[in-house]
Amino acid sequence: MNIKNETINPQEVKNRSEKIILNVGGEILDWLPTIEIAKPRELKKIINRALVLNAMYQLHLNAPKDYIAHWLEQNSLDSDLSPNEATILYSSNELTSDDHYELYWSLESLWAISWATNLIDDLPFNQQVGKELAGLSPNLQIGDDDYKYTSTMKLRSTKSIYMMLDLYYRLHWWINNNLKENKSSSNIDLNMIVSRRKALEWIHNSELKWDEMALSL
């Protein structure tokens, strides 16, 4: 069904998300508010963010910083680094455990962007990043440029992204609440949910800055 120009009804979307969560045995917070409709980010910026995330993740895999910095500069992406990413990349110090942690989970943000740009078909909340992402992404080790993303990524409808964002927003509350109450969430990881929600929020609202999203509940 083509929903590209359909009107978004936040309450209907909320009800849909809650039903999905309840159907898998999850919990909801009825008064968790609906998400405000915002101006989405343009495709070019989203593709650039995906390229940066893919490049920065290579640091977690022990790629040399100067190689990644050169690749980003060659592809005119250095200005798309967030302040935190720039600090990590251009520091003369070795990566800290916190740096590795941030870079590791950024792959889940890239996975969400891959869904939002039709690179992958679905974004199941009980499955981590698929192995196919490596083949779909530029391979910096062999000198790939940005073509794999720029030639294939096409943005999904605003409504589709809003619906997925709403689901992950409510999943965030459920998994976070489970941790507070020492309940099991099966194989659904909070960091995975939060990292994907971050990317979806950033796409949905062009006013948000990558390093400054509160992701409140």
- Measured between alpha carbons, how far is 91 from 65 in angstroms, rounded to an integer? 9
**Residue 143 within a domain:** yes
Split at pLDDT 50, 70, 90, the class of 5 is very low
Residue 3 has pLDDT above 90, yes or no: no
- Could you tell me if residue 2 is inside a domain? no
* Selection from 36, 38, 29, 41 nearest residue 10 by Cα: 36
Whether 214 maps to a domain, the answer reads: no
How far apart, in whole angstroms, are the C-alpha atoms of residue 147 and residue 175? Answer: 37
CB 194 within 8 A of CB 215: yes
Q: Determine, yes or no, domain membership for 215.
A: no
More confident: 186 or 87: 87
Domain hosting 190: range is 10-30+39-209
Residue 217 is predicted with a pLDDT of: 85
- The predicted-structure confidence for 130-155, as pLDDT tens digits, reads as follows 999 999 999 999 999 999 999 999 99
- How many distinct structural domains can be found in the chain? 1
Q: pTM of this prediction?
A: 0.95
Please indicate, yes or no, if residue 57 is contained in any of the structural domains.
yes
Residue 1: the pLDDT is 33
**Range 110-124 average pLDDT:** 97
Whether 3 is in a domain gets the answer no
Condensed to tens digits (0 to 9), the pLDDT of residues 70-105 reads: 999 999 999 999 999 999 999 999 999 999 999 999
pLDDT of residue 57: 98
Q: Does residue 5 lie within any of the structural domains?
A: no
Helix (H) or strand (E) holding 55: helix 43-60
Q: Report yes or no on 102 lying in a domain.
A: yes
